[in-house]
Structure 1
């Protein structure tokens, strides 16, 4: 009688451990935002799902209204644009809200005119992206990277152990 109960207990514990993504991670803090600035040349095709303003075939439509001359940018925005364009990765990020440029918006989901500007400088057009990236607290990341995979593996091994105990009890009874 104890063997089937032990096997069922091990299988139940294993299932609970394998289902850990349903109850982990527990939110342990507010998201930690970062503010990114990215610059890249406008390519052929589309910018954020909109026909590229770099194309002369577009004509003077509403996308041409989204093009901002480099000299028309606020001095702080020009400095951020230059820093992002000159960065080896094509951009940079800041941590503190007071390090953001006041004249730029930082949405979590940029759209043309709100977090995405087409900047024309020296005859070239660039996409200038500014956005807020919400990063999860370190404890949540640790839970997802370490705790969840380990709990899943231990749960799988516990189910295997429960099956082995159940089979051993069944085979020993015969």
Structure 2
């Protein structure tokens, strides 16, 4: 009578451990924010949802009505951030501390046109200038995802297999 109970307990424990993505990771701290600045040319199908620069000039619409900001109209710190992001090899850079942000720019987690996303006219071209807050997971949560979750799943899988083997051993005529 003990063998079927042990087999059922192993299977139940194994299934609980295999279901660990449902309850892990447990938050062990506040998110660690970073503040990013990205610049890329506006093109067809731009994330900003505006037309290409050629189409904007062709229909004679004023740049201000398209939400375009002239480079000269940016605050000096914002121009410096724009230049640094445009000149960066990956098209952007990040800062870690809130006091390193540019005061005249907003840093939402979900940028929208005018709030974290500016279209900047610079040297006859238009650029998307993205500023956003990226919330990174604390180190403890990353460790849970990388180490604890896979180990728990593996132990759970072995538990289910062991429980099934123990239960089937008795049925198949083993001792």
TM-based fold match above 0.5: yes
Cα displacement (A) at 1:25: 0.8
Kindly provide the CA deviation profile for residues 31-76 of structure 1, in whole angstroms up to 9, marking residues without a partner as x. Answer: 111000000000113333x232622256527973411111111110
RMSD (Å) for aligned C-alpha atoms: 1.8
Query: Which residue of structure 2 aligns with residue 134 of structure 1?
Result: 135
Alpha-carbon distance in structure 1 between the residues aligned to 2:14 and 2:124: 63
**Structure 2 residue runs without a partner (length 5+):** none
Q: Residue 47 of structure 1: SS of its match in structure 2?
A: coil
Query: Which residue of structure 2 aligns with residue 170 of structure 1?
Result: 171
The alpha-carbon distance between structure 1 residues 164 and 96, as it changes in their structure 2 partners (threshold 3 A), is same
Query: Which residue of structure 2 aligns with residue 102 of structure 1?
Result: 103
Correspondence 1:80 to 2:85: no
Query: Which residue of structure 1 aligns with residue 12 of structure 2?
Result: 12
Alpha-carbon distance in structure 2 between the residues aligned to 1:34 and 1:88: 19
Q: TM-score, normalised by structure 2?
A: 0.92
Query: Which residue of structure 2 aligns with residue 143 of structure 1?
Result: 144
Q: How many residues align?
A: 173
Alpha-carbon distance in structure 2 between the residues aligned to 1:25 and 1:44: 40
Q: Indicate if the aligned counterparts of 1:35 and 1:131 stay in contact, CA closer than 8 A.
A: yes
Query: Which residue of structure 1 aligns with residue 50 of structure 2?
Result: 51
Q: Residue 51 of structure 1: SS of its match in structure 2?
A: coil
The alpha-carbon distance between structure 1 residues 34 and 16, as it changes in their structure 2 partners (threshold 3 A), is same
Q: Indicate if the aligned counterparts of 1:34 and 1:95 stay in contact, CA closer than 8 A.
A: yes
Q: Indicate if the aligned counterparts of 2:7 and 2:167 stay in contact, CA closer than 8 A.
A: yes
Q: Indicate if the aligned counterparts of 1:53 and 1:63 stay in contact, CA closer than 8 A.
A: no
**Structure 1 residue runs without a partner (length 5+):** none
Q: Residue 15 of structure 1: SS of its match in structure 2?
A: helix
Query: Which residue of structure 2 aligns with residue 156 of structure 1?
Result: 157
The alpha-carbon distance between structure 1 residues 78 and 32, as it changes in their structure 2 partners (threshold 3 A), is same
Q: Indicate if the aligned counterparts of 1:34 and 1:96 stay in contact, CA closer than 8 A.
A: yes
Alpha-carbon distance in structure 2 between the residues aligned to 1:52 and 1:96: 35
Alpha-carbon distance in structure 2 between the residues aligned to 1:69 and 1:62: 8
